[in-house]
């Protein structure tokens, strides 16, 4: 009896269901946390990781060549198929494209991000954000078709180069093996340009954020310690911006690895991983091979992150 009155002296019981639930959570914060976190965790666990595992599982099945049905028995045959010449070609092509796109995105994005982080103020900063974000607001397909028109043989780029008497330059470029072609819109160069354009914001913004977080006095201390601007860049600014560059490259690299629309519309007709997945799970109906193809970018990204970590890309975090 006395225990009950004691308890009531501390927490006056609220009436009503809502009040009692609220009291319960107040007294049991762990339960509250669990209730709050359960839905998103379940979503992440089941919908996201679950489907990823299902995908992984699919890749260890094979397809019966005669019936075209999936044979639900564990086998590495599909992976063997993945590594045959045609498919390996697709993988190498895609990875090279992703690597080059990432490299050039970083090279172009860094100065822009640097300017925005260190020098742009007020109005110019707003303009920078607008300029970087604006392309993200328009439809992806519209942008790609716009580029198709720009890069086409009768397009504005050819016209401009003709006016500038530089058409020979374009022709020389297009006559190069592998990266050349009939026109930019049907060459790897065209695919590359559009990839770089479309993913650029994903590279600029993380680099800009990381540069913005570098305290000014670290730069000042460096010049006080006798560094030339080049040394400051190499030993201070670049290492501190590296997590941002890695974050940006994760975007550009993985987005290029997975994209199947840009190479479809712009470029030579040779397949990229995304297109291969699309074809295998659609017309060819080879779900296991499609699954095996999708495992490739996951593995590559895993290796990439591991290597970046080993090289100390995240030391400054």
Partner 1 sequence: MATAVELQNVVKSYGNLQVIHGVNLTIDPGEFTVFVGPSGCGKSTLLRMIAGLEAISDGDLLIDGERMNAVTPSERGIAMVFQSYALYPHMSVYKNLAFGLETARLPRAEIAKRVLRAAEILQIEPLLNRKPKQLSGGQRQRVAIGRAIVREPKIFLFDEPLSNLDAELRVQMRVEIAKLQQRLGNTTIYVTHDQVEAMTMADKIVVLRDGRIEQVGAPLDLYNHPRNLFVAGFIGSPKMNFLQISAAEIEVDADATGSAAGRRPDIPMTLGIRPEHITIDPNTGAALGPLKVVLVESLGGQTVVYATAANGQTITVVLDGQVAVGETLEAFFDPAKAHLFAADGNVMTGARLPHIIKLV
Which residues contact partner 1 (rule: CB under 8 A)? 215, 217-218, 220-228, 231, 235-236, 239-240, 312, 315-316
Is the Cβ of residue 132 or residue 242 nearer to partner 1 in the bound state? Answer: 242
Q: Is 70 helix (H, G, I), strand (E, B) or coil?
A: strand
| CA atoms of 24 and 225, how far apart (whole Å) | 59
Instruction: Please report how close the Cβ of residue 122 comes to partner 1 at its closest, in angstroms.
Output: 14
- Using an 8 Å Cβ cutoff, are 124 and 112 in contact? no
The dihedral through the CA atoms of 7, 13, 17, 19 has a sign that is: negative
Is the Cβ of residue 28 or residue 235 nearer to partner 1 in the bound state? Answer: 235
Is the Cβ of residue 155 or residue 239 nearer to partner 1 in the bound state? Answer: 239
Is the Cβ of residue 22 or residue 228 nearer to partner 1 in the bound state? Answer: 228
Instruction: Please report how close the Cβ of residue 217 comes to partner 1 at its closest, in angstroms.
Output: 4
Q: How many CA atoms lie within 13 A of 194 on its CB side?
A: 30
Instruction: Please report how close the Cβ of residue 304 comes to partner 1 at its closest, in angstroms.
Output: 20
Instruction: Please report how close the Cβ of residue 115 comes to partner 1 at its closest, in angstroms.
Output: 21
- Using an 8 Å Cβ cutoff, are 209 and 244 in contact? yes
Query: Which residues make Cβ contacts (< 8 Å) with residue 252, sequence separation at least 6?
Result: 98, 101, 102, 105, 106, 195, 199, 202, 203
Q: Is 172 exposed, middle or buried (0-12, 13-18, 19+ CB in 10 A)?
A: exposed
Instruction: Please report how close the Cβ of residue 239 comes to partner 1 at its closest, in angstroms.
Output: 5
Is the Cβ of residue 236 or residue 291 nearer to partner 1 in the bound state? Answer: 236
């Amino acid at each position: 009896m006395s225990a009950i009155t004691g308890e009531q002296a501390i927490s006056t019981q609220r009436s009503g269901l809502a009040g009692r639930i609220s009291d319960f959570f107040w007294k049991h914060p762990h339960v509250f946390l669990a209730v709050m976190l359960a839905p998103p965790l379940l979503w992440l666990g089941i919908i996201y990781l679950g489907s990823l595992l299902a995908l992984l599982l699919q890749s260890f099945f094979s397809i019966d060549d005669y019936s075209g049905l999936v044979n639900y028995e564990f086998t590495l045959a599909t992976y063997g198929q993945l590594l045959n010449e045609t498919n390996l070609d697709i993988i190498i092509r895609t990875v090279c494209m992703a690597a080059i796109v990432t490299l050039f995105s970083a090279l172009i994005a860094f100065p822009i991000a640097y300017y925005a982080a260190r020098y742009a103020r007020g109005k110019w900063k707003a303009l920078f954000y607008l300029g970087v974000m604006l392309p993200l607001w328009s439809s992806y397909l519209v942008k790609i078709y716009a580029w198709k028109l720009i890069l086409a043989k009768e397009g504005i780029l050819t016209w401009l180069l003709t006016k500038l008497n530089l058409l020979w330059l374009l022709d020389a470029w297009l006559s190069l093996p592998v990266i050349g072609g009939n026109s930019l819109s049907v060459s790897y160069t065209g695919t590359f340009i559009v990839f770089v354009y479309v993913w650029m914001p994903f590279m600029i913004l993380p680099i800009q954020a990381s540069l913005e977080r570098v305290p000014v006095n670290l730069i000042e201390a460096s010049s006080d310690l006798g560094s030339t601007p080049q040394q400051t860049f190499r030993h201070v600014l670049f290492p501190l911006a590296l997590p941002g560059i890695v974050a940006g490259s994760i975007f550009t690299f993985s987005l290029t690895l997975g994209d199947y629309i840009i190479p479809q519309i712009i470029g030579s007709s040779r397949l990229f991983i995304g297109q291969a997945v699309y074809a295998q799970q659609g017309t060819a109906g080879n779900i296991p091979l499609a699954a095996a193809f999708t495992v490739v970018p996951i593995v590559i990204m895993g290796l990439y992150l591991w290597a970046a970590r080993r090289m100390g890309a995240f030391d400054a975090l």
